[in-house]
C-alpha cells in the first residue's frame, strides 16, 4: 500500500500530497516517476526536487516512491553513490516496482564502461538486473543485461549465462526501441558498442 505524504509544491508552494501526480494549482510534477522526466531538467531544478525530497525523507526515510524520485535526481546529477543509496532504500520490502533495482544497477557503473567496473559491482549489477526482470521483464532491462554481458564478460573472455547475444535477442523480442537505447547510454555516459546496435 502506497504511503501518502503531505508536502509543498516546488513551484507555487501550495500544500499538496504524493497522491497527486501534478500540482492542481500550477501543474508542476510532484513525484518523479521515470528517468525520462529528469532528462531535460536543469541542475538547479534537480537540486530543488532533491532538497524537497530529502526534507520529506527526514520524516519518512523508508518511503519507496520518494527514494526512487530522489534516486532519479541524483543519477541525472551524476551523484552515483547518492543515487545508489536512494535506490537501495527504495528496494526494501519492494516486490512490485522494478525501477529502483534497474537504476541502482545503472548507477553502479558510475559513468564508466562496464569493462572497467570492479567485479563486485558487476556481481551486484547482475543481482539487481535479475531482480528487476523477475518483477517485470522489459526490453530495456534485457538490453542493459546484454551490455554488461558483452562489455564485461565477453571482452574479458569470461563465461556467462545468458550470453550477450541471447540477452540482446530477448531485448529485441520484447520490443526495445532505439529511443530507449539512446536514453540508457545517455544516462550511462558511455558510447553504445557497435555490437549492440539494434537498428
Predicted pLDDT at 26: 78
Digit-coded pLDDT (tens) for 47-82: 999 998 998 899 889 889 999 999 999 999 999 999
Helices (H), 10-138: 43-59, 64-76, 80-91, 99-107, 119-135
Predicted pLDDT at 199: 65
Rounded Cα–Cα distance for residues 167 and 185 (Å)? 17
Positive or negative, the CA dihedral 91, 98, 136, 131 is negative
Of 24-28, 132-136, 176-180, 182-186, which range is least confident?
Answer: 24-28
- pLDDT above 80 for 20: no
Average pLDDT over residues 81-107: 96
Contact 70/55 with Cβ under 8 angstroms? Answer: no
pTM greater than 0.85 (yes/no): yes
109 CB neighbour count, 10 Å cutoff? 24
Predicted pLDDT at 64: 92
Residues 6+ apart with CB under 8 A from 12: 23, 25, 26, 28
Rounded Cα–Cα distance for residues 67 and 144 (Å)? 22
Digit-coded pLDDT (tens) for 174-197: 999 999 999 999 999 999 999 998
Rounded Cα–Cα distance for residues 95 and 181 (Å)? 25
Mean pLDDT, the chain, rounded, equals 91
Distances (CA, A) of 1 to 24, 57, 71, 104, 179: 23, 18, 21, 22, 32
Element (H, E) at 184: helix 178-188
Amino acid at each position: 500500500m502506497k504511503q501518502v505524504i503531505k508536502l509543498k509544491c516546488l513551484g507555487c508552494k501550495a500544500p499538496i500530497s504524493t497522491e497527486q501526480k501534478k500540482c492542481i494549482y500550477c501543474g508542476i510534477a510532484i513525484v518523479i516517476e521515470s528517468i525520462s522526466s529528469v532528462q531535460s531538467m536543469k541542475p538547479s531544478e534537480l537540486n530543488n526536487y532533491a532538497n524537497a525530497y530529502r526534507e520529506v525523507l527526514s520524516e519518512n526515510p523508508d518511503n519507496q516512491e520518494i527514494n526512487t524520485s530522489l534516486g532519479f535526481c541524483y543519477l541525472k546529477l551524476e551523484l552515483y553513490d547518492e543515487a545508489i543509496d536512494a535506490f537501495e532504500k527504495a528496494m526494501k520490502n519492494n516486490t512490485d516496482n522494478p525501477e529502483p533495482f534497474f537504476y541502482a544497477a545503472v548507477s553502479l557503473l558510475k559513468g564508466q564502461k562496464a569493462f572497467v567496473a570492479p567485479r563486485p559491482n558487476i556481481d551486484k549489477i547482475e543481482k539487481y538486473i535479475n531482480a528487476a526482470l523477475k518483477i517485470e521483464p522489459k526490453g530495456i532491462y534485457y538490453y542493459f543485461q546484454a551490455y554488461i554481458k558483452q562489455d564485461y564478460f565477453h571482452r574479458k573472455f569470461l563465461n556467462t549465462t545468458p550470453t550477450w547475444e541471447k540477452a540482446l535477442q530477448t531485448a529485441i523480442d520484447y520490443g526495445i526501441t532505439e529511443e530507449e537505447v539512446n536514453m540508457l547510454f545517455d544516462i550511462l555516459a558511455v558510447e553504445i558498442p557497435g555490437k549492440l546496435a539494434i537498428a
